[in-house]
Amino acid sequence: MSAAPAIKVERLVKIYKKMPAVAGISFEIGPGSIAGLLGGNGAGKSTTIAMIMGLTMPTSGRVTVMGAEMPRERYRVLHRMNFESPYVDMPMRLTVRQNLTVFGMLYGVDNLAERIEELGEVLDLTDLLDRPTGRLSAGQKTRVSLAKSLVNSPELLLLDEPTASLDPDTADWVRARLERYCRDRRATILLASHNMTEVERLCERVIIMKQGHIEDDDTPARLLARYGRRTLEEVFLDVARRRDEAREAAQ
C-alpha cells in the first residue's frame, strides 16, 4: 500500500461575500497521524474542515481525501470517514441506540447490533443506550456524538472542537479514547481546536491558522523549540502577536 496522503489540500480558497475565510492554504496529512488545526475564532478552521468533508465547496483550489476529490467524488470515500462538530446535533427524541442504528445503517456497518454494544462499552454508554439522546447531560451527549463518529470505524476522523463545553475531566477522558482509537485503528485524525492543551496532548503535528492563512506548521516539539516557549499556548500568542506587530509596523 502506498503512503498517499489521507488529506491533501492545495491552494485552497473560500470567499464569503468578498471576505476570504480561507486564503490559499496548502498542506498534506499522512495516513495514521493526528494533526491539529489551531487558531482563534474566525481563523478558518471550521471552513477548512467543512471543505475537507465536502459540505462546503471551495471558491478555488483543491481538496483530495483518500484519493477522492472533494466534493465532486465524495461518495467514493464518505463511508470511510466520519466527523464530529458542535454545529450539528443528534436527533434528541431518538434513543442513543436508535440514533446509532440509523447512522450505522447509513454508513453500511455490518453486524450493527454488536458494533453498538461494543461502542457502548468503549465509550461507557451501555447504561444510556435506551435513553432518549435529548435527556443526556452535555458530557454524555458528547460521548454519543463520538460514538456516532466512530460507528463505521472510520479511517479518517474529522473533529471540530470535540471537547468544547466539556469539563476538564470529561474532556481528558474523551482525548484518551481518541488516542486509543487512532492507535488501534491506525486512523488519521484532523482536529480543529482553539484548546492548546488538547492539541499539545493529541497531535503529532500542528497547523496554526490565522485569518484564513497558515501561520506555522510543525510538530509541537519543534514549534516549542523554535519559539523558545514552554507551551503551545505561548507559541500561539507569539504567532498571533507577530502579525499584529508586523501590521502596526507597516502602518
Region of 70-78, 199-207, 216-224, 236-244 interacting with another protein (CB under 8 A):
70-78
Rounded Cα distance between 11 and 171, Å, is 33
CA-closest candidate to residue 96, choices 157, 153, 148, 159: 148
- Asked if 86 contacts 163 with a C-beta cutoff of 8 angstroms, the reply is no
Q: Any contact of residue 119 with another protein (CB under 8 A)?
A: no
- Asked if 29 contacts 5 with a C-beta cutoff of 8 angstroms, the reply is yes
- Classify burial at 63, counting beta carbons within 10 Å of its beta carbon; exposed 0-12, middle 13-18, buried 19 or more: buried
Q: Any contact of residue 16 with another protein (CB under 8 A)?
A: yes
Q: Any contact of residue 72 with another protein (CB under 8 A)?
A: no
Among 132, 172, 197, 204, indicate the residue that binds another protein (CB under 8 A). Answer: 132
For residue 184, how many other CB atoms are within 10 A of its CB? 10
Rounded Cα distance between 213 and 23, Å, is 6
Q: Any contact of residue 106 with another protein (CB under 8 A)?
A: yes
Q: Any contact of residue 24 with another protein (CB under 8 A)?
A: no
Q: Any contact of residue 100 with another protein (CB under 8 A)?
A: no
CB of 212 to another protein, least distance (A): 13
Among 13, 23, 55, 122, indicate the residue that binds another protein (CB under 8 A). Answer: 55
Q: Supply the DSSP symbol for 49.
A: H
Among 23, 61, 69, 98, indicate the residue that binds another protein (CB under 8 A). Answer: 98
CB of 104 to another protein, least distance (A): 8
Provide the sign of the torsion angle of the four alpha carbons 117, 142, 14, 38, taken in this order. Answer: negative
Q: Any contact of residue 57 with another protein (CB under 8 A)?
A: yes
Residue numbers at the binding site for another protein (CB under 8 A) = 1-2, 4, 14, 16, 21, 46-47, 50, 53-57, 66-68, 71, 73, 75-79, 82-83, 85, 87-95, 98, 101-108, 132, 148
